[in-house]
């Protein structure tokens, strides 16, 4: 076989390859060392900072206020990355999706509590002026609102169901609010208007309301306050409570525990008709 001398083009290819190899030797030879901080060798961004899951579908706003512009809607049980909070920890600044740069604010009551980090370790980064403009160093002064929730559902010895409403907000509630009781399957057992105007429900206070419902059969029930969101509240995500209620017909062994692990309240309330404590 006759060997032909290399052409000029072939020599150029050899020279370029040699220079490339020499460059790798000079600069360490590891392509991953050229990656930007916060990325791996394949260019995938690392996820930094604490994460938490959304309890129910929640709105993400441009400012820590429901009056702010809507940035995104985060579906139930999705994870977000927490990057800051307001000074009262009522709002958390998040990034969603966690690998993106889309940032906004979600009310703290929208999260699965067990997944939240220690908010004391989250930096206070709110910088929204009262005028609504960003970056001016102030915090949007939202109006104080009540926040009604069901704290307990108790069955007395005669089967009468009493529910306790607690105001978790920063303002008193004075007026009527609907209380609805349904079975776990969604069948409405009772719907009534609880009149709390005679004794306003201040922040941190609770009221026991006699529903007039006699629980005969043991089972799971859902108790809701303000089910149609007629009352303006600081959070609309904590208005219902699912409870295992033991009826006067007897306690079935198979009903000893809620599938989610929730135990029934053993001590029925003795207060009736909206008394506060």
For residue 204, what pLDDT is reported? Answer: 80
**277 residues of the chain, pLDDT tens digit each:** 454 555 554 554 454 445 444 443 333 444 334 434 344 433 344 556 789 999 999 999 888 888 778 888 999 999 999 988 888 888 899 999 988 888 889 999 999 989 988 877 788 775 443 334 443 333 344 578 888 989 899 999 999 999 999 988 878 999 999 999 999 888 999 999 999 888 888 888 889 999 999 999 899 999 999 999 999 988 888 888 889 999 987 654 444 444 444 444 443 433 434 444 4
Q: Which residues on neighbouring strands pair with residue 164, listed in sequence order?
A: 152, 208
Of 157, 211, 159, nearest in space to 182 by CA: 211
For residue 32, what pLDDT is reported? Answer: 39
Q: Would you give the DSSP letter of residue 201?
A: B
What is the helix (H) or strand (E) element at residue 14, kind and residue range? helix 8-26
Domains recognised in the chain with CATH numbers: 51-121 (2.30.30.40), 148-276 (2.60.40.10)
Q: How far apart are the first and last CA of the chain?
A: 105
């Amino acid at each position: 076989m006759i060997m032909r001398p290399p052409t000029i083009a072939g020599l150029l290819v050899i020279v370029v390859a040699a220079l490339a190899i020499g460059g790798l030797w000079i600069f360490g030879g590891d392509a991953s060392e050229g990656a930007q901080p916060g990325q791996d060798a394949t260019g995938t961004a690392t996820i930094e900072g604490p994460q938490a899951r959304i309890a129910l579908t929640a709105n993400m706003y441009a400012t820590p206020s429901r009056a702010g512009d809507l940035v995104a809607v985060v579906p139930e049980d999705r994870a977000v990355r927490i990057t800051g909070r307001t000074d009262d920890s009522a709002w958390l600044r998040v990034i969603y999706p966690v690998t993106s740069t889309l940032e906004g604010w979600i009310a703290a009551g929208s999260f699965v509590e067990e997944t939240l980090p220690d908010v004391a370790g989250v930096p206070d980064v709110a910088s929204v002026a009262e005028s609504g403009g960003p970056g001016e160093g102030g915090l949007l002064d939202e109006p104080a609102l009540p926040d009604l929730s069901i704290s307990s559902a108790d069955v007395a010895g005669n089967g009468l169901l009493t529910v306790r409403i607690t105001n978790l907000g920063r303002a008193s509630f004075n007026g009527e609010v609907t209380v609805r009781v349904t079975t776990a399957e969604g069948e409405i057992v009772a719907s009534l208007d609880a009149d709390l105007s005679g004794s306003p429900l201040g922040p941190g206070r609770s009221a026991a309301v006699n529903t007039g419902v006699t629980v005969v059969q043991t089972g799971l029930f859902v108790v809701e306050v303000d089910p149609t969101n007629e009352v303006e509240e600081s959070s609309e995500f904590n208005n219902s409570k699912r409870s295992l209620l033991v009826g006067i017909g007897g306690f079935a062994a198979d009903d000893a525990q809620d599938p989610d692990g929730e135990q029934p309240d053993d001590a029925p309330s003795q207060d009736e008709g909206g008394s506060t404590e």
